[in-house]
Amino acid sequence: MTTKEKKKIVGKEATDYPDQKKLILYNDDFNTFDYVIDTLIEVLGHDQNQAETCVWIAHFKGKCAVKKGDFTTLKQYYNELTFRRLTVEIQ
């Protein structure tokens, strides 16, 4: 078996999970970095480093995928994050 074949078996593509969605965090001009980091840690269970990385990506690129999963699960996170006034979307 070649390395290329092994990668196909081990690695799963997004198309292998057609019902998988992403929760996208958008940059905004009113929430502080610390507030967003703390919220990602509390709501999504991110560790400090993961939350900081997501915040910086959203800051520089305008958005960042912060969670993947099925729509029902992501909807619960979406509701809590919007309640805490973060700008998010499920794609």
Q: Is residue 7 part of a domain?
A: no
Q: What pLDDT was estimated at residue 18?
A: 72
Per residue, the 3-state secondary structure of the chain, as one string, reads: CCHHHHHHHHCCCHHHCCCCEEEEEECCCCCCHHHHHHHHHHHHCCCHHHHHHHHHHHHHHCEEEEEEECHHHHHHHHHHHHHCCCCEEEC
Q: Is residue 22 part of a domain?
A: no
> With 80 as the cut, is the pLDDT of residue 80 above it?
yes
Report the distance separating Cα 85 and Cα 30, nearest Å.
9
Q: What is the pLDDT of residues 3-54, one digit of tens each?
A: 555 444 455 554 556 789 999 999 999 999 999 999 999 999 999 999 999 9
- Domain with 39, as residue range(s), is 30-91
Q: Is residue 77 part of a domain?
A: yes
pTM of the shown model: 0.80
Looking at every residue in the chain, the average pLDDT score rounds to 88
Q: Is residue 35 part of a domain?
A: yes
